[in-house]
Amino acid sequence: MAAVKEVENLKAEKNSLIKRKVNGQRLVPYIPFTYPRRQEALNGEVASVSDTIARTRSRIVQSPERIKRTISAMSSTAIEDKKSVLLHEAKARDLQTKIGAVTNIEKATLSM
C-alpha cells in the first residue's frame, strides 16, 4: 500500500511539473545562466522524477496470485531437496561405515 501511495504521489508531482513547464513557470530557481543550461537542468529534474516513478512501479507486484503460486512451488521444491540431501547424507554415512569395515577386514587378512 505504501508503494502504491508513493507511485500516486510521484505521478501527481510529475503532472504538476509538466503543467508548470507547459504554463511557462520556472521549475528550478532562477539562476542567471544561459537558456540551454536551464533547459538541461529542467530535463534532468524530469528524468529524475521519471526514473523514480519507474523504480517504484517495478517494485509493485502486478499479479499477487502468481507470486503466491511461485512461492508455494519453490517451498515444495525446497522440502524435496532437503529430503534428498538427508537421503544422500545417510547413504554417505552408510558407505563410510562399510569402507571402515572393509578396511578392518583387509588389515586382518594381511596381518595373518
1 with 13, same domain: the answer is yes
Each residue's pLDDT tens digit, 15-68? 777 776 655 555 555 455 556 666 777 778 888 888 888 888 888 877 888 889
- What is the secondary structure of 19-46 as a DSSP string? HHHHTT--SS---SS-HHHHHHHHHHHH
Q: What is the domain extent for residue 37?
A: 1-60
33 with 84, same domain: the answer is no
Q: How many CA atoms, within 13 angstroms, populate the side-chain half-sphere of residue 107?
A: 6
Percent of the chain with pLDDT over 70: 83
Show contacts of 30-36: CB within 8 Å, 24+ apart: none
Q: How many domains does the chain have?
A: 2
**Cα–Cα distances in angstroms (integers) from residue 31 to residues 23, 24, 36, 57, 60, in the given order:** 19, 16, 12, 33, 38
Q: What is the pLDDT of residue 36?
A: 65
Check: pTM over 0.85? Answer yes or no: no
Last-in-domain residue among 60, 80, 102: 60
In this structure, the answer to whether residues 3 and 42 fall within a common structural domain is yes
